[in-house]
């Protein structure tokens, strides 16, 4: 296996957790390179379901090394809760989980500011986990890193300076009470004592591993259309969820990454606010949402659902350099008489076949559809591409042709076993 990046090629929630879990079997190291506990990866193993927000999905495989790299923002409370959840279910992270000393730390003031900004401004649909404000501090060079958390003198100096600024913002702009230094300092020194054993220079660790020909899987969070540079800005996350983020978020150079695999649903979903050209009508929305169990793993919010949008996925293929595609949740479309694929947008007398930057265009455009017949057969028990109904094969072939990228894996259910290779 090459060193590969696996990421979402839509608005997130594409089923990356399951795909990463499958590829993790052949990897030695599994690395989260961006985002925070605003992401949720779900893995179903038999009757057991695991939802992970910070720790890479590869932790479910024995002897795999899992890394939370420098590009991730870490809420230590959430991290420790996840560690305890895994321990309670018989999975130890000791000597298998490592955290970058350069990762930035989320504090309660980040979460409160996230919530207050969401109430005050035009809604973005944030999870209110403090992700954006933490990244903002990082860019403003006032953030507190894990390395700072472990150094009581540095933590004291930085936390005092940050609280002076944050409390003034909370008081003067939002009319809210600020945070007490002693309480926060004590709480976070306790976290430092508990997570210190996991902390190391993960950049050196990863590059040394690659030099020894170990195989690394880079685990993306969210999806391409939520990337802060290449997504539906401002309705995006605060990090680079595209493949380029794997290098900046880990310190592993791009020449050491061999392949990028994009994960897509057989339809499209997004959580929160923002444009969604192919969104279903209400009745179909409820049908697909119920069958696909389309509720956020992190927030429980119902996901918005729509037809497959080849315009956004072609954009993802381009900006990520995607080599191969995995299609998930094909089975959710089993009962439909006909299925649409969006191939372009129309707005203001113009046809767009490339993803437009304008939110006004994306919000007001009319999608151009191709109609394909459905297959009206249960695919959840299908174990090979050859046994798929003809209509399902034709649907996948058309997606592959539109994306000009090879489909290599198909999922027809949530269990590990409900996945098979596509034989072209």
Residues identified as active-site: 13, 41
* 3-class SS of residue 88: helix
* E strand or H helix at 145: none
Q: List CB contacts of 108: < 8 A, sequence separation 6 or more.
A: 130, 179, 184
Burial of 323 from C-beta contacts in 10 A (0-12 / 13-18 / 19+): middle
- Percentage helix, strand, coil, to 5, in the chain? 40, 20, 40
Task: Based on DSSP, count helices (H) and strands (E) in the chain, helices before strands.
Answer: 13, 20
CA 294/CA 167 separation, integer angstroms: 38
Would you list the DSSP string of 363-410?
HH-EEEEEEEE---S--TT--SGGGS-HHHHHHHHHHHHHHTSEEEEE
Q: Give the length of the chain.
A: 424
CA 317/CA 262 separation, integer angstroms: 8
Look up residue 296 and give its DSSP letter.
Answer: -
Looking only at the bridges linking them, the beta strands covering 73-74 and 97-100 are: unpaired
């Amino acid at each position: 296996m090459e060193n590969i990046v696996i990421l979402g090629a839509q608005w997130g929630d594409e089923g990356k957790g399951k795909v990463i879990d499958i590829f993790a079997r052949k990897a030695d190291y599994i690395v989260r390179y961006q985002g925070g506990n605003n992401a949720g990866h779900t893995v179903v193993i038999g009757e057991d379901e695991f939802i992970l927000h910070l720790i890479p999905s590869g932790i479910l495989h024995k002897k795999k090394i899992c890394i939370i790299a420098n590009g991730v923002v870490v809420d230590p409370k959430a991290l420790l809760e996840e560690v305890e959840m895994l321990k309670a279910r018989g999975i130890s992270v000791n000597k298998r989980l490592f955290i970058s000393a350069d990762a930035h730390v989320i504090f309660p003031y980040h979460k409160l500011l996230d919530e207050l900004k969401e109430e005050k401004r035009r809604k973005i649909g944030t999870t209110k986990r403090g992700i954006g404000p933490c990244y903002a501090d990082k860019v403003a060079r006032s953030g507190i890193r894990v390395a700072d958390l472990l150094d009581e003198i540095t933590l004291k100096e930085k936390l005092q300076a940050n609280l002076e600024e944050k409390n003034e913002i909370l008081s003067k702009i939002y009319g809210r009470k600020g945070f007490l230094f002693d309480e926060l300092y004590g709480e976070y020194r306790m976290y430092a004592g508990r997570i210190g054993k996991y902390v190391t220079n993960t950049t050196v660790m990863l590059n040394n591993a690659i030099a020894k020909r170990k195989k690394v899987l880079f685990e993306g969070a969210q999806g391409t259309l939520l990337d802060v540079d290449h997504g539906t800005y401002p309705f995006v996350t605060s990090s680079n969820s595209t493949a380029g983020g794997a290098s900046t978020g880990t310190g592993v150079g791009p020449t050491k990454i061999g392949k990028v695999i994009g994960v897509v649903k057989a339809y499209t979903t997004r959580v929160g606010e923002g444009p969604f050209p192919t969104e279903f009508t209400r009745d179909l929305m409820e049908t697909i949402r119920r069958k696909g169990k389309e509720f956020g793993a992190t927030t429980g919010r119902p996901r918005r659902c729509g037809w497959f949008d080849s315009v956004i996925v072609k954009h993802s293929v381009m900006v990520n350099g995607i080599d191969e595609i995995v299609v998930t949740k094909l089975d959710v479309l089993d009962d439909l008489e006909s299925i649409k694929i969006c191939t372009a947008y129309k707005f203001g007398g113009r046809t767009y076949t490339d993803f437009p930057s304008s939110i006004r265009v994306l919000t007001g455009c009319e999608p151009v559809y191709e109609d394909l017949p459905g297959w009206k057969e249960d695919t959840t028990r299908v174990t090979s591409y050859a046994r798929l109904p003809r209509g399902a094969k034709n649907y996948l072939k058309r997606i592959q042709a539109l994306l000009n990228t090879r489909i290599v894996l198909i999922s027809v259910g949530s269990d590990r076993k409900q996945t098979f290779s596509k034989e072209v």
